[in-house]
Amino acid sequence: MSPQVQTQTYDVRLSNHTNPAARALLECILRKRSNLCVSVDLSTSAELLEVVDAVGPSVCLIKTHMDIVEDFDQSVIDRLRVLSEKHDFLIFEDRKFADIGNTVVLQYSKGVHKIASWAQLTNAHVVPGSGIITGLASVGLPLGRGLLLLAEMSSAGTLAQGAYTDAALAMAREHRDFVVGFIAQRRLGDEDWLILTPGVQLGSGGDSMGQQYNTPREVVRRGADVIIVGRGVYGKRGEAGKEAERYRKEGWEAYLARVGGGTSRLL
Ligand code: S5P
């Protein structure tokens, strides 16, 4: 745990980051007073874009699983980008790359989704070793993209803990230009890493397939810089916009409490 980063404002932390995607995310967080990422795990483009349009005003980041969209074509990306400009948010494709460097180069840049061409952020498992980062960086760095490593997971029985988490941190340290932070349940390391935390819902609990939830307040207290909320926001049909705003307020108040109240400019 780094007490220093933990209590620094997003504003101050901007000067700790050089990666363009990390800087753009911090700037968006500040502009919108939102540390909320909504994970829109819906399988038609109409549902996906409808929810993105509804939650857009309240988020700094939209997380996608583009491989679940049944009617995917390039127009889905075009429409998503229009919404990202309309509402001012970044895009994070939750691809969870997990292969050797040569293969992830192809998965990141080619195929149906061409992820590197539209997602400012993506993520990777560290199980293959650091070649996965070298591969992804060869595509992403020239485009100004950033990478998050999965250092911990929210699901019951996860193997991503202890020595595995330490290894993720060590790999990130070797690639500070491209790795901007972690998917984790708490702050990691003494340096300024962006911590994005899934498994978040008001009311906590879990689902029937091992997902485990903590509240926004709890995960921000432990070090989350961005809270990732999926079903908690889009679960009740027609209420995604209202729910997103509720989570935005919760996440922002928890952040202000963590950094010690902040200034009126932050409120
Ligand atoms: O450890 C993790 C990492 C991720 S990226 N646990 C997760 O749940 N996720 C993702 O966050 C998961 O793939 C899903 O898209 C989202 C959580 O969705 P929710 O509906 O449970 O909030």
Tally of domains within the chain: 1
- Residue 88 is a catalytic residue: no
Q: How confident is the model at residue 149 (pLDDT cuts 50, 70, 90)?
A: very high
> DSSP 3-state assignment of 39?
strand
**245 part of a folded domain:** yes
Model confidence pLDDT, tens digit, residues 102-141:
999 999 999 999 999 999 999 999 999 999 999 999 999 9
Tokens of 13: 């932390």
- Domain containing residue 56: 3-258
- Asked if residue 267 is part of any domain, the answer here is no
In 3-state terms, what secondary structure has residue 97? strand
Over residues 214-237, the mean pLDDT reads: 97
| Residue 223, both tokens | 């070090």
Q: What is the pLDDT of residue 267?
A: 45
In this structure, is residue 188 part of a structural domain?
Answer: yes
**Confidence band for 6, pLDDT divided at 50, 70 and 90:** very high
257: helix, strand or coil? helix
> For the residues 158-174, what does the mean pLDDT come to?
98
Q: Does the residue 11 lie in any domain?
A: yes
Which atom of ligand 1 is nearest to 41's Cα? 15
- The residues lining ligand 1, judged by C-beta closer than 6 Å to any ligand atom, are 39, 41, 65, 94, 153-155, 183, 198-199, 211, 228-232
Cβ-in-10-Å burial (0-12, 13-18, 19+) of 197 comes to buried
Task: Using a cut of 0.95, tell me whether the model's pTM lies above it.
Answer: yes
Tell whether 266 is covered by a domain: no
CA dist 168 and 202 (Å) reads: 29
Residue from 202, 211, 215, 234 to probe ligand 1 pocket by mutation (most atoms less than 8 Å from CB): 211
Number of Cα atoms under 13 Å in the Cβ half of residue 141:
12
How sure is the predictor about 237, in pLDDT bands with cuts at 50, 70 and 90? confident
CATH number for the domain including 198?
3.20.20.70
103 lies in a domain? yes
Mean pLDDT score of the chain, rounded to an integer?
96
- Give yes or no for residue 263 having a pLDDT over 90: no
Section 194-221 average pLDDT: 96
pLDDT tens for each residue of 43-56: 999 999 999 999 99
Question: Does residue 207 lie within any of the structural domains?
Answer: yes
- The number of CA neighbours under 13 Å toward the Cβ of 164 is 14
Q: How far is the CA of 198 from the centre of ligand 1 (A)?
A: 5
Q: Does the pLDDT at position 1 exceed 50?
A: no
Residue 88 lies in a domain: yes
